[in-house]
Every structure is written in C-alpha cells, then in structure tokens.
Chain A
Amino acid sequence: MAKIIAERLNFYYGDFRALADISMHIEEYQITALIGPSGCGKSTFLRCLDRMNDTIPGTRVEGKVWLDGQDIYAPGTDVVDLRRRVGMVFQRPNPFPQTVFDNVAFGPRVLGLHKKENLADIVEASLRGAALWDEVKDNLKQDALSLSLGQQQRLCIARAIAVRPEVILMDEPCSALDPIDTLEIEELMRRLKVDYTIVIVTHNMQQAARVSDWTGFFWLGRLVEFAATQDMFTKPTHELTESYITGRAG
C-alpha cells in the first residue's frame, strides 16, 4: 500500500524548475532509495515530503503530495504535526549540544508526550530502536557530541523515532560515516522498516542496491525510472538509467 503518493509534483527555486512532474508511489514499510547525480532534484524531492522547502524564500510547489490520502500542501495543514509524522535524518549527524538523554527527550517534551508516558521509557525504547542503547545506557548524561560520528547519527535516528513518526526521510545519512558505521546504519534501516516507511537519498549506488526495496532515478529534475531495486540494478528499462548506474553518464 502506498504511504505517500506524489502526483505531478513541480518545484521552483524562483524561475528555475528543479522538479518536473514527479509522480511516485512510496510504499508503506518499505525502503525507497532516490539516486541520481548532484543537482538532479532528489534531495529537493525528499524535502518536499515534509515541507522542509517551505523555509526557503522564493520557492514554489505545484502538484500534490498525499500522505495517507491527505494532501500535505492543502491549506490548513498542520506542518508541525506533519513533521512529527514525517521525520528527517540529515547528512551530517546534528545532535544538540546536550546530553544523550535530552537529545532523545527533546521531541517528546516539545510535543507533550512526557505528560502521558514515562519519558525515560520513551528514551530507552528510542535508543533501543536505533541500536544505540547498549552503548550509552550506562551514561545517558554524557554529552552527545562526545559520541563517535556513527553513534551520533544513530542518536539522531533515535531522536527522530522518539516522536513516533510514520515516515523517516534520510538525506545521505552515511556520507560522513566510515564503512563500518555505514553498514551499521544500513542494518538499522532494515530493522526500522518493520515499523516505519523509509525514504533515503544516497549518492552511493551500492548502498541503494544493498538497502532499498524500490529505487527512483532522477536526472535534471525528472524521475527517469522508478522500479523494484533488484530490477533497477540488473535490468533497468531506460538507457539513461543504464548509463548512469554503469558509470557511463553523470
């Protein structure tokens, strides 16, 4: 079942059309990877899914993005609630300069979840969910910035899932990490997809091939091909996709 449906989505930075008529179904509890060369629009598309682009002046959106059948660009949409439902993990780990505990507790406190549930339980469940609990449980008061980069990124994932999102968007989540940390995050993604719908932008085609169920290939603001990952990397339909993933274009 599609969790998110983009329908003829166009996005403009001023006069520049960065996305052209993107239509895509993002399946629930699956990992969808978006690939393509720099500037192809994949990150712009990702940021359309939680309206992060709204904060950039001079931009404009046309078309629809349906989340569980509701258009997130419809007037009256509660953007704060949208971003609770659709969380984001960024390229560089960006923990707050606070303790590990406070980082994860931040969202639940803001949203008032702590009034209904035990905050410590939420923090533990989120850290376990992000496969970080065992490494930090003895010192939850340590400064988040003292963690390794890989741990910091998992902390950001814990922070994202602490507010119980339905979708997690990941924008190059491993590009600042070493190979071992990268594989850990990939393993974590496979576990997370049982509970969450994941969309990942990656420059690393092998990563897309390893981790995702579906892959979309963007080129100059267009979605050239969208297919099951195993088909995309063994027998893509479009010549441009073939050229890109075999390293002959891009």
Chain B
Amino acid sequence: MSIEALVKEFAEVAANPKAQLKKYKDQGKKCIGVMPYFAPEELVAAAGMVPFGMWGSNDKTISQAKEYCATFYCTIAQLDLEMLLDGTLDLLDGVITPTICDTLRPMSQNIRVAMSEKLPCIFLAHPQNRKPAFGLKFTVDQYTHIRKELEKISGAPVTDEAISEAIKVYNKSRAARREFVKLANAHCDVITPIKRSAVLKAAWFMPKTEYTELLTALNAELSALPVCDWKGAKVVTSGIICDNPKLLQIFEDYNIAIAADDVAHESRAFRVDAPESGDPMMALAQQFAEQDFDVLLYDEQSSSNRRGEFVANLVKESGAKGLVLFMQQFCDPEEMEYPSLKKALDDAGIPHIRLGVDQQMRDFGQARTAIQAFADVISL
C-alpha cells in the first residue's frame, strides 16, 4: 500500500470512532471504553476484548453532561460523559475510569451513577508513590481488580500467558509509534501535522495487532524516502491533546511541522514499555512506576525542574525551534506545571506560545493569529 493509502486508512479510523466501535461489535467482539490516563489496556486485550480510547470529541456539544457537571471542568471528561449519556458509546461493554486528576475523581462517580443501569464501570486509582515496593504492590492490587472486572464482562478468565502476550503486542505497538514519530519528523513534508495526528489517534480505536501491522507498513514506506529538506518551521507540541484537524490545519497553512510531542494523547502514552519477563501483573505495575516527566504524576525529585528540562531537551534533540503548548482549559496539572516549563524553555533559549484550547472551540481565529506570529518568530 502507498503512504497515501495507509494514511487514509488511519485517518478514516481516527475520524469515525463510532464506526470502528460498530465494526468490532459486528465481528462479535466486546469493547471496553478506556478513559485517560495510564489505564492498563493490555488487560483488556488479554481478556480478548477491544480497548476503546475515550478522549472526548471535537464534534460534540456538552448538553446532558451539564446535569452532572459544572462548567469549570476539562471538556474531555465532560464530553466522555456526554457520549455515554447521548448513546454515542452505547455499544461499549464496559468503561475503565482512572482517577489521577481532580476532574476524573468526581467524574468517576458521575459516570458510575449515570451508567448504573447501562454499563459496568471499572474504577481505577493509581498510586502517586508508585516506585517503591509498596507502590508497586498497590498498583498490582488495583490492576488485579480491573482484571477481575474484565473477566466478569468477558465471561472467561484472563490468564497470565494472555497478559504476557498482550504486553509483547503493546510493546511492539509502542515501539512502532515511537519510530513513526521520528519518521514523521524526518519526513514532515509527507507526514503533515494533520496526518501525524490521525495516525497516532487511530491507535486508540484499533486492536494493537491490527494497528501495528498497518503502522509498520507505513514506517517501512517512510524509511524508504529520502529525508526531506524542510524549509518551514518545526515545533514540539505539548499538552493533553491536540487532535483537532481545524487547529492543525493552521500549522500546515504556515508551514509548521511537528518535530516531536509531549502530548498525553500522543507520545506520553507510549514512552514507556512493560518488562516482558517475570510476573506480567508486576510488569504492568513497573511500567506505570517508570512513567516520568508527566504533569499528572508525582515527581520524587520535585525540588529540581526535571520535567521542564526534559521537554526543553526534547525540543533541542528533535531539531525544533520552538514549542507550542496546547493548554487544555481547566486542566490543573498542566496549569500548575506551566511556570516550571516556561522557566526551563526560557533558560534554554527556546521560544514558546501557549494556546488555550478546549474541545468545544469552534473558532480558531485567535489561535491562527498566534500561530502565524510564532511561525514568523521561530523562522527568523
């Protein structure tokens, strides 16, 4: 398949999650909604079901969710609830609700109450002290609960062997996505911001064996191309999510390529692999423990600015000239880490802009002006 055909396939999946859901249900598979962040999708796959990412929507309007939620909450969480209420996600067989931020805590309760007669809700509370033995143990306990709840839905035991196999599948998928991110940088004339986003987004709506096969093919095609001589600007993106094609179109309009990302919906989700040997449940706990440089997670070495410096290095190493921060409105963790990120970028002489975004945005006029001005700055 050509690059164009492969990208088109990813783009169709990314743009039509509901059709994807129906496709797998028609195949007789069960599907589990997985809300952000860090849920062990491997367990869903090991249970023979399809994990289905829930990262809000760029096309929906919050309406029924207002019955549960005041306005000052992240729109991703509100739109997840909206889609559960309005029938968009009726085909799901269950939903995993992590609670690592202050919006997801009460939202886990709202979803459980709202779905009480409709859908099993699987609760997940990650530990922040995740690295010591006692933290690993607590993660294993939480994941064991998820495993049991998934077994109830699937009607069959989830074996250690199946989990070990799922870990291998997921590690392969993560490696392919990391490789794709590098190739997208090297071939940013072909993989434009909209295409890059579509390829990475599709991972949330496909079983990873299927997704990785397609992505490996795309990576192979990209590897065969000569590295492009990009004349436009290059940036690193940062934030929770930046998958709105209308917003990314502005990047394309001003010849801005994405060299790498520090985005929860993208690279933050596939930075860390799970060990492939030993107890597979502990391997998944270790994978969570090794998550690092993340606004949502406690940093044991918090007296230094590790995360800010990590992102600044990412900009330098990727060859980008600046950083665009998509600040998700009402996202405390992102907002709390902004001054430290800014300091690290300023210290490293890296220009950045901060764009306030949410998934209810329909007018990107202000963003266009800011991005255009930023493109001029970093092209100097």
| Chain A bound to chain B | no
